[in-house]
Amino acid sequence: MAREYPPLLIAVIICVLMTVLAGTYALLASEGAPPPKEPALPPAPAGTPGTPVATGAPVQVASRTFSISVTPSSATARPGDTVRFTLTVHPEDGFAAPIEVNVTATALGGVYRDNHDLGTISVPYPPLTYEVAAPDLPPLVSTATVDAVVTATGGGTVRTERVQLVIRR
């Protein structure tokens, strides 16, 4: 014989189950929803310490940086000749950090490689001169081009300049 339950008990059990299911669905559905927006605070009176005053003009933040130039950018020499290169630093927007200078050179398809640390220069950034003695050429080679990259690093900024030295017998 089947046991009968009162209809009111069945209705209460169904309501409880539906409430639990609806709550679970709401919790699971809200995981992908964007977070609620915070209410906007009323604006502070103009001139309040620590509060920027809106003027409507865009704010420009000057980035402190520098550029470099190397002269000459290319030169021709005979083996053994000395060539003088000059690096000039051009600070911008009050840049004043120390700058480390390195030179990396390659020639003859990478057979010749040379690296030099030229040191660190500081404000007021005097021109940095670097003298290079043109290397001797291998037998049966009448002309070679040395490609160099001057790298200046300072204040989180890296600048490079390419320089070329052509060596002819």
Per-residue pLDDT tens listing for the chain (169 residues): 667 767 776 765 775 556 655 565 665 555 555 555 655 555 555 555 555 555 666 655 557 899 999 999 999 999 999 999 999 999 999 999 999 999 999 998 888 899 999 999 999 999 999 999 998 888 899 999 999 999 999 999 999 999 999 999 9
What domains, with CATH codes, occur in the chain? 65-168 (2.60.40.3880)
- The whole-angstrom separation of Cα 25 and Cα 14 is 16
For residue 17, the surrounding DSSP H or E stretch is helix 7-29
The one-letter amino acid at 19: T
Q: Comparing C-alpha atoms, which of 69, 63, 92 is closest to residue 159? A: 69
pLDDT score of 92:
93
Whether the Cβ atoms of residue 161 and residue 129 lie closer than 8 Å to each other: no
Amino acid (one-letter) located at 115: N
- How far is residue 154's CA from residue 97's CA, in Å, rounded to a whole number? 6
CA–CA gap between residue 87 and residue 99 (Å, rounded): 12
pLDDT of residue 5: 66
Q: What is the pTM of this model?
A: 0.62
pLDDT at 3: 72
